Chains A and B, each alone.
Chain A
C-alpha cells in the first residue's frame, strides 16, 4: 500500500516538475521583453531572496510596482531598499548573509529609474468588440420575464391595468415594462402600482448590507427614523425620474408618506412588543439618576404612497453619551435629522458608523472609517483596498504612533478610508437614555476650530470640531488614480457623484437584479489581458451601461437598455458565456 502511494506521489512530482518548468519558460519570455535594468534587478532578487520568497522570482515589473515594496524614484524610503541595506526599524533581509555592494547598487539603480513609474497603464474598456452568440428570447418571453421582475407577479397580464391600450400599443418588451414603471408613479395608489413600487423598494433595501445599530437593544430607534432612508433615495430617484447623481449628491432628507387603517401603537421591533406598549414608559436621561418621561412620536406605518422631503423634526432636551460612567447633556437637538443624500441618512451613518456611543472623532484611532469603507462598497461596488501597494507607500506615516499608519500593507486600506471618513468627522452617536429601551441618535457638532490639512493626525482632540475636509484616494476599475481633496461633506458628495465607477456600480447592481449576472468591480488594469472573452465582454458591457447612465442619468433608461441588451435577452446566458469563454 505504502509503495503504491509513493509511486503515485512520484508520478505527481513529475507532473509538478513539468508544470514548474512551464511556468519558468513563460516567465522567461516576460523577462526577455523587460528592460535591462529589470533583468539585472530580477537576477539579484532571484539569487538572494529565492529561498524564502519563491514568488518574487515570478514577479514582473508591474507586480513589483503594485507590491508596495518600493517607491519608484525614491529608494531611501522604499521598504525593500531599507531592508537589504539594514537601515530602518524593520527586520533586515536576507536573514542569513547579505547583498554585495554591487547588488545593492543594482537594486538602488532600478528603484531610482524613472521608467518604472510609467509601467502603469490605464485600461480602455471600449476597444474590443466581442459579441454573444445569439439565442435570443422573443419579445413576449422578455415581457413575461421583465413584468415578473417589475411587478412581482409571475405571468403578469396587461388586463390587470385599467387603461391598457397604451401598454399594449408597444411592441418591445422594454417599452411595455417601462410603461409599468410610469404607471406606478407616486400618486397612483392602485394595488398594482403599490405592488410595483414595493417590489423595487425591496430591491433597493437589499442594496445596503448593514441595518443594525449600536446594539440590538435600541429597539425604539427603528420607530423614530426610517432604517431604509438610503433606499428611499433610490426608490424616489426611480419613480420620480430624478437624475441618478442625486442619490448621493442631494441635500434632501427623505421620509415615506404612508396610508394606514389604524394608528401605530405597536413598536416595530418584535421583542416583547405587547409588553412594551402596555407597561413601558420611555425616559430621557439616566435611569438611576436625573431623568424625565418621554413620549416620542413614532413613524407612520402602512402602504407607502409617496416619498417626500422631511421638514419637521423631533427635539429632545436631554440625552446621555454612554451606558456607564455617563454624562447627561441638556442641550436641545433634533433626534431624527440627516445631513442629506443616501450616504448622509442618519440610519445609514449609524448602521455603518462602527463607533461606540459617545466617541468623538480624534483623527487617529477614533474616526468613522467603517462608514467610508461601506460607502465604497455600497456605491462603488468595491472592497478595500482600492489602491495599489505603491500608492499607499507614498503616504506611510513613518513617525506615527499608530502602528497601522506606519505599515505600508495596512495603509493600503487606510490611505483611502481614513481621509474619506473626515467628511463626517463631526458626527457623534448619543443615546436617549441608558435604560434597556434606549434609542440611538446622531449629534452633529458645528465646526468651531481651524481647518487642518493633516489627514493622518495621531490624535487631535479638536478633530471633530474642524471643518469636514478630507481626501478621495481611489484607483478606478480602469486603473486611473483619483487623488482629490474636498472641503466639506457636500463637496465629497459632488465628487463621488462625478466618478464613472459610481454609475458602473449602479449598472452592475441593476444587471444583477434583472439577470443574476454579477460583474465584480476591481482594478482591472493589470489583469484585463488575462481575462477570458466572456469576462471581457461583461466588463465592457457593464462599463458601457454605466457610462450611458452617467450621461442620461435615468434609471428607467438604464433598465430599458438592460432589457434590450444581449444578457437579459439570452435564453441561456450561462451557456452563452461559457461558449464565449472557450
Chain B
C-alpha cells in the first residue's frame, strides 16, 4: 500500500511538472496577446451624453466616468481648473479629472470587457430606456420619434448609432425587424446592453 502511495505521489508531481513545462512552451510559441479594443471611459461618457442628452448625466458619471478601473482611459489633471475639492461639476474641464488619485494619469488606454463593466453599462442603459426625455433626444437625433414606423430603414438608423460593422448591422437589422412586439424602448435597450458596440 505504501509503495502505491509513493508511486501515486511521484506521478502527481511528474504530471504537475509536465503541465508547467507544456504551459511554458506554449508561452514561448506566442509572441503576442490579443485584447479587444474597447471604448474608454471618456469615449463612453461622450457617447451617452451626445446621443441621449444630459438627462441621467449623474448616473453616467457614477457608473462610467468614475470607474477608471473598469473602463481605463487615464486622466489629464492639469486640464482641470479646480474651484472645489475632488470631483465636482463646478470645476472647469472636470471631465478630464482623475477620480481617486493623480496617479491615474498613467492608467491604461482601455480595459477588457468584464461582467462588472457590463453591469454598470446595463444600469445606464436601463435608465435611458426608461426616460422618455432621453429616448426622445436619442430618436430626434436620428430624425425619428416615438411614433415613427418600425420600418427596416428606421431600425437600421438606430442600429447605426451603436454599430458601424456592416455585417453586424445587417444581422441585427434582420433579427430586430422580425420581432413582433418591437418598440423603440426595447430596441434601444437591447442594442445598448449588447456589449459588441463598445468594441472597435
**Proximity bits, A257-285, B CB within 8 Å = 1, else 0:** 01011101010111001100000000000
Task: Report Cα–Cα, A9/B9, bound state, in Å.
Answer: 9
Report if A145 contacts B (CB, 8 A).
yes
Contact of A9 with B11 at beta-carbon distance under 8 Å, contacts A148-B39, A210-B106 already known: yes
Q: Which residues of B contact A299 (CB under 8 A)?
A: 78
Within 8 Å by CB of B78, from A144, A226, A273, lies A226
* Interchain nearest-CB distance for A535 vs B (Å): 4
Looking at the complex, which of A135-143, A241-249, A446-454 is the stretch in contact with chain B?
A135-143
A262-B200 in contact (CB<8A): no
Asked if A303 is at the interface of the complex by the 8 Å CB criterion, the answer is: yes
Count A/B pairs, Cβ under 8 Å. 185
CB contact under 8 A between A9 and B77, given known A16-B14, A227-B105, A524-B31: no
- Asked whether B34 lies within 8 Å of A577 as measured between CB atoms, the reply is yes
Contacts of B15 in A (CB 8 A): 12, 16
> B18 contacts the other chain (Cβ, under 8 Å)?
yes
Kindly list chain B residues whose C-beta atoms are within 8 Å of the C-beta of A530: 25, 28-29
Of the candidates A12, A20, A228, the one whose C-beta lies within 8 Å of that of B105 is A228
Query: How many residues of chain A have a CB within 8 Å of chain B?
Result: 77
CB of B192, distance to nearest CB on chain A (Å): 13
**Which stretch (A68-76, A199-207, A382-390) binds chain B?**
A199-207
Query: Closest B-chain residue to A264, C-beta based?
Result: B81
The answer, among A6, A212, A301, for a CB contact under 8 Å with B81, is: A301
Q: Are B106 and A205 in contact (CB under 8 A)?
A: yes
Provide the residues of chain A in CB contact with B178, threshold 8 Å: none
| Residue numbers in A under 8 Å from B11 (CB-CB) | 9-10, 12-13, 16
Is A273's CB under 8 angstroms from B85's CB? yes
Least distance between B168 CB and chain A CB atoms (Å)? 9
Given contacts A154-B47, A301-B80, contact A535 B31 (CB under 8 A): yes
Q: How far is the CB of B98 from chain A (nearest CB, A)?
A: 8
B34 pairs with A137, CB closer than 8 A:
no
Asked whether B46 lies within 8 Å of A152 as measured between CB atoms, the reply is yes
Q: Which residues of A contact B106 (CB under 8 A)?
A: 205-206, 208-211
Contact A535 B32 (CB under 8 A): yes
Q: A206-B107, A256-B78 are in contact. Are A270 and B34 (CB under 8 A)?
A: no
Residues of B within 8 A of A300 (CB): 78
Q: A1-30 CB contact bits vs B (8 Å, 1 = yes)? A: 000011001101100100110000000000
Q: Are B79 and A304 in contact (CB under 8 A)?
A: yes
A206 contacts B31, C-beta separation under 8 Å: no
Binary per-residue interface labels of chain B (134-167) against chain A in the complex, 1 for a CB within 8 Å, 0 otherwise? 0000000000000000000000000011001111
Flag if B14 contacts A13 (CB, 8 Å): yes
> CA–CA, A201 to B76, complex, Å?
8
Cα distance, A130 to B197, chains bound together (Å)? 31
Chain B min CB distance to A1 (Å): 13
- Are B92 and A261 interface neighbours, CB within 8 A? yes
**B83, A206: Cβ atoms under 8 Å?**
no
Interchain CB contact under 8 A, A268 and B102: yes
Residues of A within 8 A of B105 (CB): 205, 211, 227-228
Q: Hey, which chain B residues are within 8 Å of A536, CB to CB?
A: 31
Beta-carbon contacts of B78-92 to A below 8 Å, as 1s and 0s? 111111011000001
Contact residues in A for B160 (Cβ distance below 8 Å):
155
State which residues 20-56 of B face A: CB under 8 Å: 25, 28-40, 42-43, 46-47, 50
Known contacts A13-B14, A154-B47, A535-B30; A262/B83 CB under 8 A: yes
From A10, A141, A202, A304, B166 is in contact (CB under 8 Å) with A141
Judge if B2 is at the interface, Cβ distance under 8 Å.
no
List of 7 A-B pairs having minimum Cβ-Cβ separation, nearest first: A144-B164, A516-B37, A535-B31, A266-B82, A13-B11, A516-B35, A202-B74
Known: A154-B43, A270-B85. 9 other contacts (CB 8 A): A16-B15, A141-B165, A148-B43, A155-B164, A206-B109, A211-B105, A269-B102, A519-B32, A531-B29
Residues of A within 8 A of B (CB): 5-6, 9-10, 12-13, 16, 19-20, 137-138, 140-141, 144-145, 148-149, 152-155, 198-199, 201-203, 205-206, 208-212, 222, 226-228, 256, 258, 260-262, 264, 266, 268-270, 273-274, 299-304, 513-520, 524, 527, 530-532, 534-536, 538-539, 571, 573-574, 577
